[in-house]
Amino acid sequence: MPPNGMYPARVDDKGRLKVPKSFEQYFGALPEKKLFVTSLDRRIGRIYPISAWMKTADFILNFGAEPETAERVWFVAQDLGADSEMDGQGRILLPPELRRELMIEDQPVRLCAAYEHVEILSEAIYQERRQQSLPNQLTSDVHVLKRAGMR
């Protein structure tokens, strides 16, 4: 299981993401070592274990309801993505195109697990999301979820 919560991390000047210990343990325990690092929206990075990426790729490539949407998302994933692995020091090399697009070269980032991938948030995206989650809005959001059955 991936760790819960939001974790600070950093992309170094050589483009390597040094993952926190809990993510290092998570990636290290996976049966496969190959990862696919990309973005689907040119805003948030994603690190997929290769088997999870293959399921996501299959979904995108076979999404017939809106083929133009699937084509655009596939293009971005391939344009910014590359295979990678975590090294023995808990670092994952991020593709240069991804680092430039997300403006995370030699910058702090935040990591959080989401479904079968790990999201990489730039400081700007992290702060944007913090602003979107102001207490007044959250009170309303929690009530909506409770009415829908959340405990």
Q: Taking the mean position of all CA atoms in its chain, how far away is CA 61?
A: 20
- What is the tens place of the pLDDT at every residue in 31-46? 999 999 999 999 999 9
Higher pLDDT, 108 or 136: 108
pLDDT range class, residue 136, cuts 50, 70, 90:
confident
- What is the tens place of the pLDDT at every residue in 69-106? 999 999 999 999 999 999 999 999 999 999 999 999 99
C-alpha to C-alpha distance for 114 and 90, rounded to whole angstroms: 20
Q: What is the DSSP string of 33-67?
A: -EEEEEESSSSSEEEEEHHHHHHHHHHHHT--SSH
- What is the tens place of the pLDDT at every residue in 59-79? 999 999 999 999 999 999 999
Q: What is the CATH number of domain 6-123?
A: 3.40.1550.20
Sheet architecture: strand order including 45-49: 82-85, 34-39, 45-49, 117-122, 108-114, 6-11, 16-18, 91-93
Q: What pLDDT score was predicted for residue 95?
A: 98
pTM over 0.85: yes
Q: Which sequence spans correspond to the domains of the chain?
A: 6-123
C-alpha to C-alpha distance for 46 and 60, rounded to whole angstroms: 15
C-alpha to C-alpha distance for 57 and 70, rounded to whole angstroms: 10
